[in-house]
Amino acid sequence: MTVDYKTMSKVDWITLAEDYHKQLVITLQQLSSRDWMHVTPYLGWRGYEVLAHMASSNTMNFQLLLDLAMKGRPVPNPPFDFFLRNAAEVEKRRNLPIAEVLQEFSSTLADNLSFYKRLADGDWLRPAWFFIGDVNIRTLFLIQVSDTVVHERDLFLATGKWKGFDSQLLQPLTDWFMREFRPATFRHEGTEKLDISILYRLSGSAKGDWTMLVRNGKCYAEQGTFSRPDITVYADTEDLITASLARANPTVGSLSRRFGFLVRPPKREDFVATVTGYFSFGSAVLSKRLRINGDRAKIAQLRHAFWHFGERRKQTEVSMNTSQLMDSLK
């Protein structure tokens, strides 16, 4: 049975996350020095680089945005480039011992969880901001948890030790991904005339049906089926999520980084994300791990109706400008 992520309380979510994180740190401590050198599916980064990103993002991204939300001014000062910020922090930690970076990850994660625990229930839905636009603190929490969950896959898939997502977390996170995160990547400009219904039939440990409606320049998604959808998507939950987040074969990431010299430094991370995003989605479709049936014209229209992983810089700029404009009109 599918879990409705909105019916779970703050305590429910934090308890699940805390149990998961404790076990994750123990598991990461068992990786060898050689394991950390493997290239992962994430942007061609090696394991130790993914760990450095996980450690730094807890403070450089999430704690910063939480602090701004609590001060009542959620949108950070521009420019705010997630890709460049992440890459810069990884570079700072490149020569640090793995044990030191792992300790940083563990301690900053504990600090973030302590913040959420102290948070009053009334602040759980306090306005916040992320590159997808205006959100709330609960969404920041779920983005942080899901980010860690997918990076765990990056690390262990690279070493051949991946056993699948944590099933207890995956069910409510999938519901959140389908009903909130995925619709938040919808482009509102230029999509006013689209009228499309998409049925997602997901299999695996978080199987279920979700219907997404694109109408009047807006995108909605809910659990359940639509009687006659224009498009039907069949996929395992893991394949859908990782294809959406540009997780490609590690070789693709490595090659795209080697050719990164062809692109100006500020856009190299965008270049790698774009290349891995195309290969991730393309390979999922070609291998039939992701099957899309229905009206071909509407399938083509949808391709341009959502922001893609490699467009995160532009999406951040647009959402930041929109949020600031709406704030000025209040």
pLDDT digits (tens, 9 = 90+) for 288-319: 999 999 999 999 998 889 999 999 999 999 99
Burial class (CB in 10 A: 0-12, 13-18, 19+), 177: buried
CA distances from 107 to 31, 37, 193 (A): 18, 23, 49
Residue 255, token pair as written in the block: 């090659």
Burial class (CB in 10 A: 0-12, 13-18, 19+), 297: exposed
**Spatial CA neighbour of 85 closest among 63, 103, 70, 68:** 63
Q: Which domains does the chain have, with CATH numbers?
A: 5-182 (1.20.120.450), 186-328 (3.30.1050.10)
**Spatial CA neighbour of 20 closest among 172, 203, 125, 207:** 172
Residue 66, token pair as written in the block: 């939480």
Residue 79 has what pLDDT? Answer: 85
Residue 32 backbone class (left: φ over 0; alpha: ψ -120 to 50; beta: rest) = beta
pLDDT, one tens digit for every residue, the chain (330 residues): 578 999 999 999 999 999 999 999 999 999 999 999 999 999 999 999 999 999 999 999 999 999 999 999 999 988 888 888 999 999 999 999 999 999 999 999 999 999 999 999 999 999 999 999 999 999 999 999 999 999 999 999 999 999 999 888 999 999 999 999 999 999 988 888 999 999 999 999 899 999 999 999 999 999 999 778 999 999 999 999 999 999 999 999 999 999 988 888 888 899 999 999 999 999 999 999 999 999 999 999 988 899 999 999 999 999 998 887 666 656
DSSP SS3 for 124: coil
27 near 246, Cβ under 8 Å?
Answer: no
Residue 328 has what pLDDT? Answer: 61
pTM of the model: 0.94
Q: What angle do CA 154, 85, 155 make, to 5 degrees?
A: 10
